[in-house]
Chain A
């Protein structure tokens, strides 16, 4: 499998008469895009806003973010109104430096539990902007509202479908007329057999509507560990639906540019041989399932003849147990492992960083603490729809002005801020 991503670099976005790219500026046809979104009658309204990183702006009600892609042959974002056929092979056009974000106040129908589509917030200015993917791309924000009475799964699928039709349309329009600035190729070529084989152990979370991960358009709720090709991440096979876990989710745009995968590819043939990806689900509710995951995932790593493994996980709490048990099983088979994880540690850094370990977890990389309160300044613009956010679902939901200033107790609502794919520079250290 050889994936060639034809990259069109974007440094600015603006509305214009037609969708085109020139000198790094992407202009897009606002009316046309809104119309294609509204062709899906699950959606009641669609307003499109633009925002640049560094602006005094906050994006709220985020459902997901996707990078514009267009595959010249075969389905783009397979399973989303398109045929289900494997991706990760052939030619894909990519608009780098743009993110299409679907925003919508999804219905809060419960006061407790996992499947509440909580408020997802991203800052575009300041160091905290680095903690979300929106802080480093030109943002095309779809402010959506849904038809009344849709069941949760339809809401979930509708907002994702919207971002993907826009993303595809943009990339297709540009691919037709603009020559790519560069081409990046991804292939697990044969390399020096003396190089150590390294596997990426990627644990996602999936527990139904608003809390799931999609693979070729289907929820991964019942996933037992399996092999996937790294190119499938880079080519849109995985879509993130975990609105319920704003900080501990890995948004689609991060999967499309998964840094563990791109860095392993960078080293492929130089210091290591990238052997492949084991995809698994964590946060199962019984010890038996956790052990099944660990045994199966580690067995697949061994089948790939791995000598080393990089672990990432998604979610929080007991989801770490599957990862730790898998890591333990790998280490016991001689597969040297490194785990990337966020930590707790309390606001002041004097509390336990993690709540579960295995003795074999001797090599860990920190993606920082989720416990520290974040003061958010007043901003000039709020994008996503309206000017309030909802907090505290356990109280039935309470509305707070979104413009700020406001301080959130801990980082639950900050979009992707736990950095679980290893995509940020923020960490904690002993002192």
Chain B
């Protein structure tokens, strides 16, 4: 018989609604509320040995007290698996579930939760949470429990999990290799046939939403600004002395341009593998406009051009790498009091 600890909020713990959201974390022996529904699903294979109940406000805003209490409960009961929720579309409850799962993971206890795909907690906990998708509202509880119960058993038994699609949990932003029985062309035609018949189908790849960045405040006056030029067009000194890659870049470099009026053809070359480099080779300023920047600098359009130019190759670049490059370059720019950047891409 698998031992399960279940986490619920004040409402599903039977204490009340929003007025009880400051309820401190405490433990009730055995199953409470939806935990009884889970036990029905498990039919004797697993049981809720204890239910951790926490008020949504308490757990989300008094973490220094809430988290040790959750940890202590898990350490005391040593369950085979932790189940948290379902949280449906409740944001604070979803976050609390995510925190519980994180704490369980730190203790080496497998965990699973359930919430609506729109719950903001998913964006925060991302790649680490097994979450079964539910409807928005608690009225979808009956539909949510069976897949949650089933996944809890698998995790509790230490069984390997299949893909997100096979097992019914939400994609976590992690993908792994698989060899299907059929070639992609066959799978594509089968998927199209399902669509044409109006049958449900499962895309093999999710559409990604890219995150927004709050726009940096505009420069008040250009005339007094220090500006830097950065490029992903792969224009490097002749001979590519730092061996930057033509694809799948893992590094960036800076090169001193302080005394240069322009990039001289022949002294700089394009090593980017993803575009026809003929024009950039003839005149590298077509990708990195140093000549124009010098002219505008001497005309007083802006105060000064930073001594260094920053470069990488922007094709096949992992997004995580690109982020890291941006952070590292920004660090240097701040240290040099650079106030604005022109970044050219090819």
Contacts and interface: CB of A to CB of B under 8 A. Distances in A.
A338 B188 contact: yes
B3 to A, nearest CB: 26
A152 interface: no
B184 interface: yes
A303 interface: no
B55 interface: no
Contacts of B164: 429-431
24 contacts: A110-B277, A112-B270, A112-B271, A113-B277, A259-B184, A285-B275, A316-B274, A317-B316, A336-B195, A338-B188, A343-B205, A345-B175, A349-B177, A352-B318, A364-B205, A365-B184, A371-B316, A394-B271, A394-B273, A422-B187, A427-B184, A428-B176, A428-B205, A429-B204
Query: Chain B CB within 10 Å — which of A113, A357, A359 has the most?
Result: A113
Given A260-B189, A349-B174, 11 more contacts: A308-B196, A343-B205, A346-B320, A349-B176, A352-B208, A369-B175, A371-B316, A394-B246, A394-B273, A409-B248, A430-B164
A428 B178 contact: yes
B192 to A, nearest CB: 5
A425 B181 contact: yes
Q: Which of A116, A272, A350 has the most CB of B within 10 A?
A: A350
B28 interface: no
Nearest to A365: B188
The 10 closest A-B pairs by CB, nearest first: A113-B277, A422-B185, A259-B185, A430-B171, A422-B184, A394-B271, A430-B164, A349-B175, A429-B163, A394-B246
Contacts of B191: 338, 363, 365
Contacts of A409: 248
B232 to A, nearest CB: 12
Interface string B265-293: 00001111111111011000000000000
A353 B175 contact: yes
B221 interface: no
Interface stretch (A222-230, A263-271, A375-383): A263-271
B182 interface: yes
A173 interface: no
Contacts of B180: 425, 427
A171 interface: no
Contacts of A423: 183-185
B174 A357 contact: no
Contacts of B319: 351-352, 355
Interface string A17-61: 000000000000000000000000000000000000000000000
A31 B315 CA distance: 45
Contacts of B206: 353, 430
Contacts of A259: 183-186
B179 A425 contact: yes
B262 interface: no
B175 A431 contact: yes
A263 B188 CA distance: 10
Contacts of A208: 276
Nearest to B208: A352
Interface residues of A, number: 78
Interface stretch (B75-83, B135-143, B237-245): B237-245
A351 to B, nearest CB: 5
Given A115-B276, A271-B193, A359-B207, A430 B175 contact: yes
Interface residues of B, number: 63
Nearest to B179: A425
A98 B47 CA distance: 61
A73 interface: no
B122 to A, nearest CB: 13
Contact of A260 (B188, B269, B275, B315): B188
A365 B204 contact: yes
Nearest to A198: B192
Interface string B45-81: 0000000000000000000000000000000000000
Contacts of A392: 243, 245-246
Interface in A112-140: 112-116, 127
Interface string B194-206: 0110000101111
A179 interface: no
Nearest to B126: A350
B309 interface: no
The secondary-structure label for the interface of chain A is loop
A114 B189 contact: no
A343 B240 contact: no
Contact of B275 (A111, A113, A372): A113
B263 to A, nearest CB: 14
A395 B243 CA distance: 6
Nearest to B244: A394
Given A111-B271, A338-B188, A431-B176, A410 B163 contact: no
Contacts of A196: 196
Nearest to A339: B188
B173 A422 contact: no
Contacts of B188: 260, 310, 338-340, 365, 422
Given A352-B319, A431-B163, A114 B277 contact: yes
A355 B205 CA distance: 13
A308 B192 contact: yes
Given A310-B189, A346-B318, A351-B319, A429 B281 contact: no
A277 to B, nearest CB: 14
Of A318, A336, A341, A410, the most chain B CB neighbours within 10 A belong to A336
A419 B184 contact: yes
Contact of B208 (A338, A341, A357): A357
Given A367-B184, A430-B175, A353 B208 contact: yes
B344 interface: no
Nearest to A410: B248
Contact of A430 (B165, B243, B281): B165
A429 B274 contact: no
Contacts of A366: 184, 204-205
Nearest to A195: B196
Contacts of B179: 127, 425-427
Interface in A361-415: 361-372, 392-396, 409-410, 412
Nearest to A267: B189
B207 A361 contact: yes
B127 interface: yes
Contacts of A357: 207-208
